Chain A
Amino acid sequence: MAFTTMVGARIRRREDPRLITGRATYVDDVRQVGTVYAAFVRSPYGHAKITSIDTAQAKSDPHVLAVYTGEDLHHAHNLKASLPVAHKMPDLKTPPHYVLALDEARVVGEAVAIVVADSPYTARDAAEKVVVEYEQLPAVVDIEKAAAGPPYVHESLGTNVAFTMPFSAGDPDKAFAEADVTIKQRIVNQRVAPVPIEPRSMVASYDAGMQQLTLYSATQIPHLLRTQLAIVLGLPENKIRVIAPEVGGGFGAKLNVYAEEVVVSWVAMQLERPVKYIETRSECFQAMIHGRDQIDDLEVAAKNDGTITALRLKITANMGAYHQLLTPVIPTLTMLMAHGCYKFENIAAEVVGVFTNTMSTDAYRGAGRPEATFFIERAIDMVAQRLKLDPVEVRRKNFIASDAFPHTTATGLTYDSGDYETTMDKALAIIDYAGLRKQQEELRKQGRYLGIGISTYVEVCGMGPSAAMPAAGWDSATIRVEPTGSITVLTGVSPHGQGQETTFAQIVADELGVPIDHVSVIHGDTDKVQYGVGTFGSRGTAVGGAALKLAIDTIQAKAVKIAAHQWEANPDDVEYRNGKMQVKGDPSKSMTTAEAGFLAFMGDKLPPGLEPGLDATRRFEPPNFVFPFGTHICVVEVDAQSGEVKFVKYLAVDDCGRLINPMIAEGQIHGGIAQGLSQALFEEVVYDGNGQLLTGTLMDYAIPHAEQVPHYELDHTVTPTTVNPLGIKGIGEAGTIGSTPAVANAVIDALAPFGVVHIDMPLKPEKLWAAMQAVPSNGSVR
């Protein structure tokens, strides 16, 4: 049994001192002798034929080591491989996605050539000297136009539709025929950019003697990246080492295999020099994956009492010009989570993936689930508005009951555990919901527009059972008790801000009875750490932490045998108590894990048949996903003169099961809410009709500054899961998923007196101001 002094405590993050004092090593901090620098020549057009590339002038610069084009790679060097897409769809169209454009560029920012020089500056200057002649082709940016017909992004496909996936359960037609009310609404979930502080960064080097390629990359998936590099470059996997050092934010955008990672690795092999490439912010906006970008057409059937009986749904998802690693998978997650936390059983859905001349969409914090939560939480509010019911009561009416878990939804997911009503009621009590509604009514009489938005979300994470994943879903942990008693943990997940160097050490400290300072958590290096799947889908602790728990169990079992042997006791009579081993009921003798580890190292006092050493490697295959949930309530005031939105209050009551470090969980929620509310109010990637990116800098594309986010009031409930031995669920994406609809519902609620039913995000002041030009129903003067 574990004694808990660390688990559940607000231990300060052990990562932070090095991060905040400038002593951390990010990719750009990696210094290797002889390093040369890459710059990419990128397409300035959304769609164009490449008629010629003249590299002579760039190559004539004595500071330039090499220039390669797609043609060079493809023909002269026979690097024909296409970038990978992981999926489980039978009829997915997978056009080739070369690492440097060959003949045709299909998105602004697509890499056309690479220039390598002795400094980043000369590389950039030389890249401007590569003369590329283009013949512009018609571009298509609008998803529906693209779905309808030509021009085609990939002419050879004869269509822009990448896949169509229908789904049906129950009898939606009957439910719609019998409905008291139906609501039809198109909801656009706009394209957003992940904008990690650290853009994509990589440095590759090649040891020709050892035939060993080493790639430092700001990635969330060092092992999966290694595997894909082996395939794409045609190298033995054991000759590739991928290192993710400190990573400055991923948000899903670094859960990928990028063309630049392949090209830079390949060039390092050609030149036998370390090659560094740190993309600029402008390149990051163009060529790092984007998130969301769906049109969700929904139709809801409901009874007069607010009971929702059926949903019809068409998800039209923008793939971008090519598939990246998980591009087509994302909107299928939206469909799977279309239920939210509600129990209706009739659903007819269709997901259509469409190619356009834009950057690929892929996983961005929430990855498909925010879209689902957004439309179902908006739909609940629309039902309430139509039926003149309180949105709280409509939610209450439709919740999956707390005694109905595990609950299998019509879309086929089995929700592990939940108690939605308790969490919502806690939030309503904290924020004094009834008082707020009264205040709203008073203010409306004065021509002031307060809005109260509720979002009761559930999400699917802890990705996930391998059978349900496009790639492996398990993860791994190794624990080594070193001879002098310190403990090394090697985790297969690859934290980049999630704090597992702290939380994993908390778990080990408790379970193995060592001071937390004696535990070191190592990750992100494929030559140090056994294969692991990585950090994404709020899986780090739910899967990687569960593997750690299994490794702890194995260590404890062996340590107990060692202790029992010294005491001539039966191992069954020895147990861990308060972090030490003792004979059950006899505290007179005890042994620490460190002592057992030393005996295991010396090797001469072990029971017969027991191998020396005290270490263990275990893997956890999750039997199911986990389904954290919560209630977010946002209160805003919208200025009727200008449409500006002011936050009045923000409350989140989340439930991610057992908390290992509440402070770190809160940090994840804070960041998640910031990104979620920012989608609701500010963010939007805009391409013009020719595929030119209009929001390509931080002067145009808004990410929230501190002054633009409210104070967050947080609380939680604890509903454990049985999916993993820690009883925990993920919390990395919940804030983003829960917050966007809470903010949108609040803003739209504020505008209810103007007859507003829905406004698409981002809820910019101008849109709100335009809607408020109507005469308000309360008759007050604006």
Chain B
Amino acid sequence: MIPAAFDYVRANSVEDALRLLTEHGEDAKLLAGGHSLIPMMKLRLAAPAMLIDIAGIPQLDGITASGGGVTIGALTKHAALAASADLRKHAPALWDAANDLGDPQVRNRGTIGGASAHGDPSADYPAVLQALDATFTLAGKGGTRELRAAEFFLGMFETALGANEMLTRIAFDAAPNSAYVKFHHPASHYAVVGAAVALTLSGGKIASARVAITGIGDAAFRAGGVESALQGVNPNDAAAVKAACAGAARGVQARADTFASASYRSAMADVFAARAVAKAASAR
């Protein structure tokens, strides 16, 4: 619980942070809220020689949410997301996740960008941001580039972020009929299974669905089979939703721990996907 020795420097701007990243190379890590990185350092699972603190960079913090879309700065804290009435209205799935994540200390320090860039396979946002089909803006030395969420989350603690890049912004279209439900691990309160759903409804039926699952495999994934099976289903027909959500984790190599086996995790993907569909359909 005592980290190895490290140096610390504060970046004042995105440019500054990118310059420091290049300067210190692979030994450096960006520090935002620190609620993923610092615990790993304390357990000596990570030992970066240099921490570049980006928490004070202005203009990377903030939420704009309307019917036209949602844009979130990478340094926006979970607590700010959890408190945003606009977010609740226009993207309830993300609002659910921000409210159901960590504890007050974590929510008041941790950031959406930091949590996303960490690529934890049991984190909530990777599922939510895939269900919302979010676009990630990555700043690098040569300018910025944009990636879809599904292209960003690659594997266990692995994202598409380059060594000298930083995540600056996350944006997506409004998804008023979206929801996130989560099976808490009783100790870590990370997702044993987390299911995020964004629906469009037409005439009381599901016109289109995006469904993403976290906690099961090496990274959160879109459940394509479930998405197509949900088309045309009445979301209030529990049996039909249940049938459509069957096999949500099909083809995914599920993980196991002392709390839940792989097969149970997979079975719970179906259950929680169905719950998320019901919740998304009834969201206002």
Contacts and interface: CB of A to CB of B under 8 A. Distances in A.
17 contacts: A120-B2, A121-B2, A125-B4, A641-B271, A642-B183, A644-B183, A694-B258, A697-B43, A698-B188, A700-B187, A700-B258, A702-B185, A702-B259, A705-B103, A764-B259, A764-B260, A769-B264
B2 A702 contact: no
Interface of B: 1-2, 4-5, 43, 103, 183, 185-190, 257-261, 264, 267-268, 271-272
A121 B103 CA distance: 28
B264 A708 contact: no
A281 B190 CA distance: 19
A280 B187 contact: no
B258 A684 contact: yes
A163 to B, nearest CB: 31
A124 B187 contact: no
B51 to A, nearest CB: 15
B267 A769 contact: yes
A100 to B, nearest CB: 21
Contacts of B259: 702, 764, 766
**Contact count band on A:** 20 to 34
A718 B161 CA distance: 66
A708 B185 CA distance: 11
Interface in A87-145: 120-121, 124-125
A280 B4 contact: no
Pick the most buried of B186, B259, B261, B272: most chain A CB atoms within 10 A of its CB: B186
A304 interface: no
A280 B39 CA distance: 13
B187 A701 contact: yes
Contacts of B190: 699
B157 to A, nearest CB: 15
Given A124-B2, A700-B257, A702-B186, 16 more contacts: A121-B2, A125-B5, A280-B2, A282-B1, A642-B271, A642-B272, A684-B258, A698-B187, A699-B187, A699-B188, A700-B188, A701-B187, A702-B259, A764-B259, A766-B264, A769-B264
Nearest to B265: A766
Pick the most buried of A641, A681, A684, A708: most chain B CB atoms within 10 A of its CB: A641
Contacts of A697: 43
B200 to A, nearest CB: 26
Nearest to B44: A128
A703 B188 CA distance: 10
Contacts of B103: 705
A769 B260 CA distance: 11
B1 A281 contact: yes
Nearest to B103: A705
A7 to B, nearest CB: 39
B1 to A, nearest CB: 4
A682 interface: yes
Contacts of A698: 187-188
A282 B44 CA distance: 12
Interface in A668-712: 681-682, 684, 686, 694-695, 697-703, 705, 708
Contact of B187 (A121, A702, A765, A770): A702
A200 to B, nearest CB: 13
A265 B260 CA distance: 43
Contacts of B268: 642
Nearest to A688: B258
A686 B256 CA distance: 14
Pick the most buried of B2, B5, B260, B272: most chain A CB atoms within 10 A of its CB: B2
Given A121-B2, A281-B1, A682 B186 contact: yes
A124 B272 CA distance: 43
A684 to B, nearest CB: 7
A766 B261 contact: yes
Contacts of A766: 259-261, 264
Nearest to B268: A642
Contacts of A765: 183, 260, 264
A769 B185 CA distance: 16
Contacts of B1: 280-282
A708 B187 contact: no
B89 to A, nearest CB: 25
Q: Top 5 A-B pairs ranked by shortest CB distance?
A: A280-B1, A702-B187, A702-B186, A699-B188, A124-B2
Nearest to A284: B1
A765 B267 CA distance: 12
A485 to B, nearest CB: 46
A700 B187 CA distance: 6
Interface in A459-513: none
A765 B186 CA distance: 10
Nearest to A682: B186
Given A642-B271, A699-B187, A769-B267, A686 B43 contact: no
A199 to B, nearest CB: 9
B3 to A, nearest CB: 8
Nearest to B257: A700
A682 B186 CA distance: 7
Contacts of A702: 185-187, 259
Contacts of A682: 186-187
Nearest to B259: A764
Contacts of A703: 187
Contacts of A686: 258
Contacts of A769: 264, 267
A644 B268 CA distance: 11
A695 B188 contact: no
Contact of B5 (A121, A695, A770): A121
Interface string A4-26: 00000000000000000000000
A701 to B, nearest CB: 6
Interface string A629-647: 0000000000001101000
Nearest to B260: A766
Contact of B43 (A120, A282, A695): A282
Interface string A517-555: 000000000000000000000000000000000000000
Contacts of B183: 642, 644, 765
Contacts of B272: 642
B186 A695 contact: no
B264 to A, nearest CB: 4
A599 to B, nearest CB: 57
Contact of B186 (A280, A282, A708, A770): A708
Contact of B189 (A121, A681, A705): A705
Contacts of B258: 684, 686, 694-695, 700
Nearest to A685: B258
Contacts of B271: 641-642
Pick the most buried of A120, A125, A765: most chain B CB atoms within 10 A of its CB: A765
Contacts of A700: 187-188, 257-258
Contacts of A764: 259-260
